[in-house]
């Protein structure tokens, strides 16, 4: 799903769920010990879904992140096994052509929050609404 669709569409997440905001991604990352180690705790183990080496991957959080890659501006799928990219729900401080996402990579146990062009096709990870 690209950032344009994510930003403008309603009903992407099932009822009772939503796409996480940057602050919710930060909260998860901090809960898992900070950006330097959180990705390892979020990535599926082994090399079925990730390229070798899948640095620090334990999936101890149960997130089970998989190296899904991205669909680029040319409609090509790239970075399969190398990265998992998840849109956030808000784009605070960014211009209208860019949005923010959280990134996991095979080569590191660190997470990254990045902004890039909304035309890119990244994954969406829904979380349950607070009750």
Task: Going residue by residue through the chain, which has 131 residues, state the pLDDT in tens, using 9 for 90 and above.
Answer: 544 455 444 567 888 999 999 899 999 999 999 999 999 999 999 999 999 999 999 999 999 999 999 998 899 999 999 999 998 887 655 577 778 889 999 999 999 888 777 777 889 999 999 87
Q: Looking at residue 9, what is its pLDDT?
A: 46
Domain chopping of the chain, boundaries: 3-128
Q: Looking at residue 55, what is its pLDDT?
A: 97
Structure-token pair, residue 118: 């909304």
* Cβ atoms 85, 70 nearer than 8 A: yes
Q: Looking at residue 7, what is its pLDDT?
A: 45
Indicate the helix (H) or strand (E) that contains 23: helix 22-31
How many angstroms separate the CA atoms of 120 and 64, rounded? 22
How many CA atoms are closer than 13 Å to the CA of 114, on its beta-carbon side? 16
Q: Looking at residue 113, what is its pLDDT?
A: 85
Q: Looking at residue 93, what is its pLDDT?
A: 58
Q: Looking at residue 31, what is its pLDDT?
A: 97
């Amino acid at each position: 799903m690209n950032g344009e669709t994510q930003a403008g569409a309603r009903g992407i997440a099932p009822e009772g769920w939503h796409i996480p905001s940057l602050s919710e991604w930060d909260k998860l990352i901090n809960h898992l010990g900070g950006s330097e180690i959180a990705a390892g705790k979020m990535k599926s183990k082994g090399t079925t879904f990730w390229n070798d080496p899948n640095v620090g991957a334990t999936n101890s959080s149960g997130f089970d992140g998989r190296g899904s890659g991205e669909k680029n501006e040319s409609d090509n799928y790239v970075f399969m096994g190398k990265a998992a990219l998840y849109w956030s729900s808000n784009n605070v401080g960014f211009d209208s052509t860019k949005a923010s996402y959280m990134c996991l990579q095979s080569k590191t146990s660190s997470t990254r929050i990045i902004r890039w062009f909304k035309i890119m096709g990244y994954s969406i990870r829904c979380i349950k609404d607070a009750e």
